[in-house]
Amino acid sequence: MTPDARPNPAATGDALVSVRNLTRKFGSFVAVNNISFDIPRGQIFGFLGPNGCGKSTSIRMMTGLLAPTSGTITGFGGLDALKDTERWKQRLGYMSQKFSLYTDLTVQENLRFFGAVYGLQPRELDDRIATLAKRLKFEKLLRELTAGLSTGQRQRASLAAALLHSPELLFLDEPTGGVDPRGRRLFWDLIYELAADRGMTVLVTTHYMDEAEQCDRLVLMLAGNVIAEGTPRQIKSGLDGRLIEVAPSGDPFGAMNDAAKEASVEDAYLYGLTLRVVSAAGQREAVAREMNRLGQVKPAEPSLEDAFVALVRKREAETGAARQD
């Protein structure tokens, strides 16, 4: 099921978790700067941004592992992440980017250990392990030491550990990093199943823009700030009717520099072997005529990567202008 085909709880105000004015400082350094957003119930929520932007710090606060300097995180029918920390954590599942299972135990021993920590009874636990092993296709690995597993196999075992207690909100931190395309597809099939069929809410961080496109709703962070929030379509809409693709007839870098000099061009950057040019609003046709001297020109549909680049550059330009003032 595609994101557009699924219901939108955000439209009805059905938020599972609400983050308000969240700030975290480490000394004089502001890692997270007064951010606010809602995580809709039963949807796939993408949390994006470059390394060092504040994603991990935000997630640590949302999982109750780090106290905010100021702001609130509430949800699950009235719980407060800071005041009701233990009950809050019981509602969560978390799969970290770094492998967190014990390498000197088998996959099955790891899962039994984590299931016992969650308080699952032996018979119920064995049933859940069997179900997850079949769904994630690692039945033959249950008696293998995790130290000998491949990256993709380790990720599947880690995901199973996070799902054992059927959490209401599942955090997936770079879940497909280092996983082959087939493994990535398997992960996303399961994420869809969890959100669409079982009503679980999933927060996922990823560097893959094609994966971000599959989320119902996104938050983009940069330097501790939220710079955009909305559906993938809403975030891309800022570039509608403004993007041009140029296949340069000469040096691509020279073409990029030439394009950037045009008064009606807001941005120009390389996109593989082609050049993407962002025109000022209402100026795409005029800019396209100017770009004909650089190579073959055609209108382009914005991708999420285009939108992210545009938002980051706009924010950097605004920050630079503010510093000069």
Band (317; pLDDT cuts 50, 70, 90): confident
What is the reported pLDDT for 314?
82
**Token pair for 294:** 């650089």
pLDDT tens string 233-253: 999 999 999 999 999 998 999
Lowest mean pLDDT among 59-63, 104-108, 296-300, 315-319: 315-319
What is the reported pLDDT for 190?
79
For the segment 264-292, the average pLDDT, to the nearest whole number, is 93
Dist. CA 154–CA 162, nearest whole Å: 12
What is the reported pLDDT for 301?
92
Dist. CA 17–CA 20, nearest whole Å: 10
Q: Which domains does the chain have, with CATH numbers?
A: 3-230 (3.40.50.300), 237-324 (3.30.70.100)
Residue-averaged pLDDT of the chain: 87
pLDDT tens string 121-161: 999 999 999 999 988 888 999 999 999 988 878 888 888 99
Helices (H), the chain: 55-62, 85-90, 107-117, 122-135, 151-163, 181-192, 209-212, 232-236, 252-260, 284-291, 304-324
**pLDDT of 312 above 90:** no
